[in-house]
Amino acid sequence: MSELSKIEDGQVVSMDYTLQVDGEVVDSSEGREPLEFLQGAGNIIPGLEQELYGMAVGESKKVVIQPDEGYGIIDPDAFVEVPRDQFPTNIPMEVGTEITVTDQDNNPMNARIDSLDDDNVILDFNHPLAGKELHFDVKIVGLRDATDEENEHGHSHDGGHTH
C-alpha cells in the first residue's frame, strides 16, 4: 500500500489529538496509541471529520468545533426525573455522579445526576460534551488506503479499539 498524500474518504487515518473544553484537557491520545479511524464513515464527530480533508501526514491543525457539529446541542427532553427511592443505596447521591441505566429494551444508557432534592433526582442523558465548543489540536501521523473489509464494515481494524 502506497503512502497517500492527502486525507480523503476511504482512507484509514492515524491521528494524535488533544481535546480541550472550557480551557481544560478532557481527552488526549498522549501516552497512548494514535486514534485510528476510517475517514468518511462517521467514526468521529462530523465537524472534526470535515476539517481533516486534504491534510497530509505530519501536518498539525487547531480546530474549533461548534456543538451542532460535535456532540450535539443540549436536549431539554434528555433530562428525566426519577424518584430518589428507586436508586440503589451504593450510588453516591451527588451532582455529577455518572451512572448507567438500562432502557426498556435493556440497552445501557449513560446519565449524570444533574440535580436532586429529598424526593427526586434529575438525570441528564445528554452526552457530557453536548452543548460544548470543542477545541482540538490534531496531528496526522499515518494514512493508508482502507482494505475492502474495512470499507465494508465501516471502520478500521488494527487500531486497537473494538466496536
- pLDDT of 160 above 50: no
Q: What is the mean pLDDT of residues 49-69?
A: 97
Task: Write 90-95 long-range contacts (CB < 8 A, 24+).
Answer: 93/121
Contact present, 7 and 43 (Cβ < 8 Å)? no
Q: Which grid coordinates belong to 79?
A: 433530562
Give domain status of residue 6, yes or no. Answer: no
Band of residue 148 on the pLDDT scale cut at 50, 70, 90: very high
All residues at 6 or more sequence positions from 11 whose CB lies less than 8 Å from its CB, including other chains: 4, 38, 39, 143, 144, 145, 146
> Does residue 4 belong to any structural domain of this protein?
no
Share of the chain above pLDDT 90, in %: 87
Would you say residue 92 lies in a domain? yes
Name the pTM for this structure: 0.82
Q: Of 98 and 160, which is predicted with more confidence?
A: 98
| 134 and 66, same domain (yes or no) | yes
Domain limits at 84? Answer: 76-124
19 in any annotated domain: yes
User: 81: phi > 0 → left, psi -120 to 50 → alpha, else beta; which?
Assistant: beta
The DSSP secondary-structure symbol of 158 reads S
Residues 111 and 92 sit within 8 Å (Cβ to Cβ):
no
93, 110: one domain: yes
**Mean pLDDT taken over the chain:** 92
Task: Give me the CATH number covering residue 36.
Answer: 3.10.50.40
Does 138 score more than 50 pLDDT?
yes
pLDDT tens for 81-123 read 999 999 988 999 999 999 998 888 999 999 999 999 999 999 9
Q: What distance in Å separates the CA atoms of residue 102 and residue 109, rounded to the nearest whole number?
A: 6
